[in-house]
Amino acid sequence: MQTVRVRTTQNVFIDYPTASIGDRILAHLLDRLILILYSVAIVAVLLNSEVEEWYIWLILLGFPWLFFNLAFEIFMNGQSPGKQVMKIKVVRLDGTPPTIGDYLLRWIFSFLDYYVLSGAIAVVIIAMGGKGQRLGDIVAGTAVVKLAEQQEISAKEIFVTSDEEHIPTFSQVSQLSSNDIELIQRALEVNREQGNIQPVMILTEKIKSMLAIQSDMPPVKFLYTIIKDYNRLTAGS
């Protein structure tokens, strides 16, 4: 399986499996199915309403087909309905969240990928590029990756929330964000599944420095404790 190495904002390198061509095609087809069903419903409504103004037809039928992927990727954090079903997502290679500009570049170049060069050429570019990138991804500095099952679950869901008697060890964890916790979760997942302790070690040192924590706790136990403390301190917030 091909992977793409993403450098996070914490300077931790994490290898994500790239979305397969099959996953991307299926996601694309699911999105098109949604658009077809929507169009059929809108046409039926417009015909029954005897609407004749061409611009209403254009707005209700043309705009959704034109802006579907752009709008959903912006508002669904790099996913369309099809991508969500297939558990794939657009990410930036430098670890920062994709911007509207990144999504816009991908959208503009999608016309070149799919229509000017034909979808077959896009498939060839994805297959040969090594990072699962079509032309729009290369220009925008993005890639489409496969989300692990654990990434669909928040840290609060992973750790038993019934541990209401847990006494936080590090009160400073309240300064962390949910994105920080998800990054810790991913580092622990990489260690568990790939035996790669490096992200855990780097994150441990980063968090200790950032929160001014002094602890001799083993790195893996330290990060698990950080997440449990965070869950306990932010419960109900």
Selection from 33, 40, 77, 85 nearest residue 60 by Cα: 40
Q: At residue 15, does pLDDT exceed 50?
A: yes
- Per-residue pLDDT tens over the stretch 103-162: 999 999 888 877 666 667 777 777 777 677 888 899 999 999 887 654 433 444 444 444
Give the model's pLDDT for residue 40: 96
The span from the CA of 173 to the CA of 163, in Å, is: 17
| Residue 160 or residue 169, greater confidence | 169
Give the lowest-confidence range in 35-49, 105-119, 138-152, 176-190: 138-152
Contact status, residue 176 vs residue 234, Cβ threshold 8 Å:
no
Give the model's pLDDT for residue 154: 43
Give the model's pLDDT for residue 35: 96
Domain ranges of the chain: 3-147, 152-234
Q: At residue 68, does pLDDT exceed 80?
A: yes
> In the chain, at which residue ranges do the beta strands (DSSP E only) sit?
3-7, 13-17, 88-92, 142-146
